[in-house]
A and B are shown apart, each in its own frame.
Chain A
């Protein structure tokens, strides 16, 4: 049972959280103006990184806040968590 560090509540068991997929995939500014292909990329396509991955988590059983995390998809290790208004950390 892994612990995930909620930026607000502190470390909690992973079952208190829901996964929200890749982070930093903004809703297109003007969907009407993007091509079908660009739109399909927004709707359906996500990176499938092995290693450090920026992703969204929600502390559903706690404060219900969304936050971002850098997690290693090979080891499951959370390297850091950061708030939504923070920039994507530069990872080596």
Chain B
């Protein structure tokens, strides 16, 4: 369609080129520089969609992010819901349709890139209008590090939508020069298409830069589409302008009804005539500019309806010179039309009373009820707002450290004032930072401001239509009306926060940019209280909607969560390992051979470790080097066991408890020297236990001469496990006497392999004869290969975490965090043997004596054997007890405990489980029941050690 509503000249569009796009299936043509909204208006199209609840036609009502009417769904180039036609830049191939308040997410993954960047500045200026530019120039000229962000496609702010002049030239010439000057400062970051959407603590502002959206299908794939800027500023200058406020009247929602300033912006910024015959309804002087500019551009302005009794004598004279009729002391009481406004109903208005009216034909009804400073970022930073009676708006009500507001956002509405104020706040910010603001900072001369006639604060026109406010729309996006506010107040609500939630006003896409202050005003009127007492609802980020994809940034796919791997990872992958996540670690779970499922692989791996030899990559175990003359003292205080009596060359298993006496970790401790230990923690406990040791050493016992250092990745750890492990170790390390006498259980020995230091330890987590091999990961793969080569003749079998779990569970070794849950004491685990009787104190000891921890009915770790010898009990299953008659007790059925570990055992040739059971050790031999898939499975309670309870195998 042709652009029949395009002005003959003007606008920031490129008339030499055209852009074809599709809206609601119809092809249109616009120009580069258009928004979707301006291009549609140029084609004479106002209606975008119908409303969410009432299905009323709705159109474009504003020119930027405050528009409550023009929600669209983008179809091409990539589906995206809930964008405003006023903020979508036109590009070739754009396809969109209007949305009645709800959109549709894409059904295919978004292939665009999104990223984030941290940036630090001395002064962050938000908004590149006259005040913001003046502030940015002032700061840049002082040599400060500056960021200037602005949400539009080019700098200028309100100047883009007007005809202002500076230094006797079009103001935009000054804007161009200012932007060029800023670009010459190496420490100035100037970003357009960038919305500062949230201000947080300590000068932290998040801003969303739309980097390639406007390029459509031409957007380069390797550049992020949108970027979240994480800006940290010592001073923030908020120069975010103001939003024009409508006046509410009956049927004020029809397409063709628009804010007056928006119409002026469409004319000057985009070269669009939003209609042919306009009525202008205002309470203040600013709308006269729209009336006069549209008139000059060829729009027939039927009347300016000014609610003030005398109107504005000066502006009236200007209008009458231009032949525009002005009706002071009058209001628009309603409209006619369906898909487009056709008439404005105009009536005299005095002392709040509306007289008899008449209809004026129009296809455009412009409205101005004053201006609301955009105080969002100030308010988000917990700045207190004050209500200004004269403006009928909320203004910053206090000074904040490090954040100042300037220009229209601070209630300064004249150009000269904005420039001067922008410079003033920037200078103050620099001075506060001890940056010398002196220097060249000449600002252009603006025409002497004319003092406007005082505005009238008018929230709504009394409804004479008989609809009792039910068609007087406050929040167009939510179809919420004056009648809804009246209903809320009638229901007894007083708080503006409650009224917001009752009426849903301000909860839609625009978050109340046009409706918020109106709601405060109308509520105050209905309650008969001052607007200051009503206040506003809380301003929360984001200022405008931000896509989750942008917030996720690059933390997607592989980069979503770090994968930690050992130096053997590539070997595991090549060996066909199936991995499992253990915290952030990727650990081989099992190594299936062709045709094997997990069960078959694990049975094979278990059998190898019990009858031949297996090898595990245990490198993820946490390792802490504890050094210093008091190293043994620290360990004595943190372990339940005595560690100071451990001999150099020996290893001891130890348990750590919290002060509440509950087990927090376990592992082995190697004494390397009188003043040096190597502490092994669980894989998941590595960081936690290092922190725990540091916490006590630093905060409680700073007098102890001891240092703890993480060496988790300094050592690969390979348990070589099984009756043939001695043969393998003996073959690889021939200089080590691996006999039981020379190298007993729970001993360690240092050796070398081709000059590379290796430590061997007789530690067993399976009950079998086993050696752990410690070597620097630099040589980890090579040593692993040597072990495999030497073990080949014994059928050495790499095994994964699943087999490790079966082997340890068969021996009743608990996994802290699986068989325990932070409520389990060492005694509950049957580990009295690991609790020193000799030590006067250690962390947790005193809590063992608490009465709750002495209860014989505490849950204790036991073994369970399903009587059917077939069922593998699901981990987490509840354990119940039947009555003597074989019936379940009546609900609620008492729970005795739960299954913590459950596997199929090659060794036992049957499934088994570990469980925490109330008074479990006194129930050994009893039969209890576990509900599995609706059936009660009888299980025998046993001791927790099911394989080799005598410990005969550990020495081979």
In-complex A–B contact (CB below 8 Å): yes
Query: Is the Cβ of B851 less than 8 Å from the Cβ of A58?
Result: no
Bound complex: CA of A39 vs CA of B699, how far in Å?
Answer: 19
CB 8 Å contact bits of A27-52 with B (1 = contact, 0 = none): 11011101010011011100000000
Query: Is the Cβ of B851 less than 8 Å from the Cβ of A36?
Result: yes
Which chain B residues lie closer than 8 Å to A60 at the CB level? 691
Q: Is A64 an interface residue (CB 8 A)?
A: yes
Q: Is B847 an interface residue (CB 8 A)?
A: yes
Which chain A residues lie closer than 8 Å to B308 at the CB level? none
Which chain B residues lie closer than 8 Å to A56 at the CB level? 699
Which of the residues B691, B694, B840, B851 comes within 8 Å of A32, measured between beta carbons? B840
Query: Is the Cβ of B201 less than 8 Å from the Cβ of A2?
Result: yes
Q: Is B660 an interface residue (CB 8 A)?
A: yes
Bound complex: CA of A65 vs CA of B691, how far in Å?
Answer: 10
Which of the residues B200, B230, B691, B847 comes within 8 Å of A39, measured between beta carbons? B847
Q: Across the A-B interface, give the 3 residue pairs with the lowest CB-CB distance, nearest first.
A: A31-B846, A2-B201, A3-B202
Q: Is B145 an interface residue (CB 8 A)?
A: no
In the complex where A32-B840, A39-B846 touch, is A1 in contact with B659 (Cβ < 8 A)? no
Query: Is the Cβ of B691 less than 8 Å from the Cβ of A58?
Result: yes
CB 8 Å contact bits of B831-847 with A (1 = contact, 0 = none): 00000000011000111
Which of the residues B659, B700, B850 comes within 8 Å of A36, measured between beta carbons? B850
Bound complex: CA of A18 vs CA of B849, how far in Å?
Answer: 31
Bound complex: CA of A44 vs CA of B850, how far in Å?
Answer: 13
Q: Nearest CB to that of B698 among chain A residues?
A: A66
Which chain B residues lie closer than 8 Å to A84 at the CB level? 698-699, 702
Q: Is B695 an interface residue (CB 8 A)?
A: yes
Query: Is the Cβ of B845 less than 8 Å from the Cβ of A1?
Result: no
In the complex where A36-B850, A76-B201 touch, is A31 in contact with B699 (Cβ < 8 A)? no
In the assembled complex, 15 residue pairs joining A and B whose CB atoms fall closer than 8 Å, in A order, are A1-B202, A2-B201, A3-B201, A26-B700, A27-B659, A30-B841, A31-B846, A32-B845, A40-B850, A43-B659, A56-B699, A58-B695, A64-B691, A66-B694, A84-B702
Query: Is the Cβ of A27 less than 8 Å from the Cβ of B700?
Result: yes
Bound complex: CA of A26 vs CA of B851, how far in Å?
Answer: 23
Q: In the complex, what's the smallest C-beta–C-beta distance from B230 to chain A, in angstroms?
A: 7
Q: Nearest CB to that of B841 among chain A residues?
A: A31
Which chain A residues lie closer than 8 Å to B840 at the CB level? 32
Bound complex: CA of A85 vs CA of B702, how far in Å?
Answer: 9
Tell me which residues from 833 to 879 in chain B have a Cβ below 8 Å from any Cβ of chain A: 840-841, 845-847, 849-851
Bound complex: CA of A31 vs CA of B660, how far in Å?
Answer: 12
- By the criterion of a CB under 8 Å from any partner CB, how many residues of chain B are at the interface? 22
**A residues touching B (Cβ–Cβ < 8 Å)?**
1-3, 11, 18, 20, 26-28, 30-32, 34, 36, 39-40, 42-44, 56, 58, 60, 64-66, 76, 84-85
Bound complex: CA of A40 vs CA of B852, how far in Å?
Answer: 11
Bound complex: CA of A1 vs CA of B202, how far in Å?
Answer: 8
Which chain B residues lie closer than 8 Å to A26 at the CB level? 700
Which of the residues A11, A44, A64, A85 comes within 8 Å of B694, measured between beta carbons? A64
Tell me which residues from 318 to 353 in chain B have a Cβ below 8 Å from any Cβ of chain A: none
Bound complex: CA of A26 vs CA of B696, how far in Å?
Answer: 11
Query: Is the Cβ of A65 less than 8 Å from the Cβ of B698?
Result: yes
Q: Nearest CB to that of B699 among chain A residues?
A: A66
Which chain A residues lie closer than 8 Å to B204 at the CB level? 1-3
Chain B interface, >50% SS class: helix
Query: Is the Cβ of A1 less than 8 Å from the Cβ of B847?
Result: no
Which chain A residues lie closer than 8 Å to B700 at the CB level? 26-27
Bound complex: CA of A27 vs CA of B841, how far in Å?
Answer: 11
Which chain A residues lie closer than 8 Å to B694 at the CB level? 58, 64, 66
Query: Is the Cβ of B702 less than 8 Å from the Cβ of A20?
Result: no
Which chain B residues lie closer than 8 Å to A85 at the CB level? 702
Q: Nearest CB to that of A28 among chain B residues?
A: B846
In the complex where A3-B202, A43-B659 touch, is A34 in contact with B691 (Cβ < 8 A)? no
Query: Is the Cβ of A1 less than 8 Å from the Cβ of B230?
Result: yes
Which chain B residues lie closer than 8 Å to A40 at the CB level? 850
Query: Is the Cβ of A18 less than 8 Å from the Cβ of B846?
Result: no
Query: Is the Cβ of A39 less than 8 Å from the Cβ of B850?
Result: yes
Q: In the complex, what's the smallest C-beta–C-beta distance from A10 to chain B, in angstroms?
A: 13
In the complex where A3-B201, A31-B841, A56-B699 touch, is A43 in contact with B691 (Cβ < 8 A)? no
Q: In the complex, what's the smallest C-beta–C-beta distance from B1 to chain A, in angstroms?
A: 48
Bound complex: CA of A64 vs CA of B691, how far in Å?
Answer: 8
Q: In the complex, what's the smallest C-beta–C-beta distance from A16 to chain B, in angstroms?
A: 13
CB 8 Å contact bits of B693-732 with A (1 = contact, 0 = none): 0110011101000000000000000000000000000000
Bound complex: CA of A73 vs CA of B841, how far in Å?
Answer: 35
Query: Is the Cβ of B660 less than 8 Å from the Cβ of A43?
Result: yes
Q: In the complex, what's the smallest C-beta–C-beta distance from A58 to chain B, in angstroms?
A: 7
Q: Nearest CB to that of A39 among chain B residues?
A: B846
Query: Is the Cβ of B695 less than 8 Å from the Cβ of A66?
Result: yes
Bound complex: CA of A83 vs CA of B700, how far in Å?
Answer: 13
Bound complex: CA of A1 vs CA of B691, how far in Å?
Answer: 24
Q: In the complex, what's the smallest C-beta–C-beta distance from A38 to chain B, in angstroms?
A: 10
Most chain A Cβ neighbours within 10 Å, of B200, B202, B660:
B202
CB 8 Å contact bits of B666-697 with A (1 = contact, 0 = none): 00000000000000000000000001001100
Most chain B Cβ neighbours within 10 Å, of A27, A34, A39, A58:
A27
Q: Nearest CB to that of B842 among chain A residues?
A: A31
Bound complex: CA of A85 vs CA of B850, how far in Å?
Answer: 32
Q: In the complex, what's the smallest C-beta–C-beta distance from B14 to chain A, in angstroms?
A: 40
Most chain B Cβ neighbours within 10 Å, of A1, A11, A30:
A1
Query: Is the Cβ of B846 less than 8 Å from the Cβ of A32?
Result: yes
Which chain A residues lie closer than 8 Å to B698 at the CB level? 65-66, 84
Q: In the complex, what's the smallest C-beta–C-beta distance from B48 to chain A, in angstroms?
A: 37
Bound complex: CA of A76 vs CA of B204, how far in Å?
Answer: 15
Q: In the complex, what's the smallest C-beta–C-beta distance from A13 to chain B, in angstroms?
A: 9
In the complex where A2-B201, A42-B659, A66-B695 touch, is A34 in contact with B702 (Cβ < 8 A)? no
Which chain B residues lie closer than 8 Å to A65 at the CB level? 698
Bound complex: CA of A43 vs CA of B658, how far in Å?
Answer: 9
Bound complex: CA of A20 vs CA of B660, how far in Å?
Answer: 16
Bound complex: CA of A43 vs CA of B847, how far in Å?
Answer: 9
Bound complex: CA of A64 vs CA of B659, how far in Å?
Answer: 22
In the complex where A42-B659, A43-B660, A85-B702 touch, is A34 in contact with B846 (Cβ < 8 A)? yes
Which chain A residues lie closer than 8 Å to B850 at the CB level? 36, 39-40
Bound complex: CA of A16 vs CA of B200, how far in Å?
Answer: 17
Which chain A residues lie closer than 8 Å to B695 at the CB level? 20, 58, 66
Query: Is the Cβ of B841 less than 8 Å from the Cβ of A32?
Result: yes
Which of the residues B201, B202, B702, B845 comes within 8 Å of A31, measured between beta carbons? B845
Q: In the complex, what's the smallest C-beta–C-beta distance from A20 to chain B, in angstroms?
A: 7
Q: In the complex, what's the smallest C-beta–C-beta distance from A25 to chain B, in angstroms?
A: 10
Q: Nearest CB to that of B850 among chain A residues?
A: A36
Query: Is the Cβ of B699 less than 8 Å from the Cβ of A1?
Result: no
Bound complex: CA of A58 vs CA of B201, how far in Å?
Answer: 20
Bound complex: CA of A76 vs CA of B846, how far in Å?
Answer: 35
Which chain B residues lie closer than 8 Å to A44 at the CB level? 660
Bound complex: CA of A70 vs CA of B840, how far in Å?
Answer: 35
Q: In the complex, what's the smallest C-beta–C-beta distance from B874 to chain A, in angstroms?
A: 34
Q: Nearest CB to that of A26 among chain B residues?
A: B700
Q: In the complex, what's the smallest C-beta–C-beta distance from A4 to chain B, in angstroms?
A: 9
Bound complex: CA of A3 vs CA of B233, how far in Å?
Answer: 12
Q: Nearest CB to that of B637 among chain A residues?
A: A27
**Apart from A2-B202, A31-B845, A58-B691, 14 more pairs, CB < 8 Å:** A1-B200, A1-B204, A2-B201, A26-B700, A28-B846, A31-B846, A36-B851, A39-B846, A42-B659, A43-B659, A43-B660, A43-B847, A58-B695, A66-B695
Most chain B Cβ neighbours within 10 Å, of A31, A36, A66:
A31
Q: Nearest CB to that of B660 among chain A residues?
A: A43
Q: Nearest CB to that of A20 among chain B residues?
A: B695
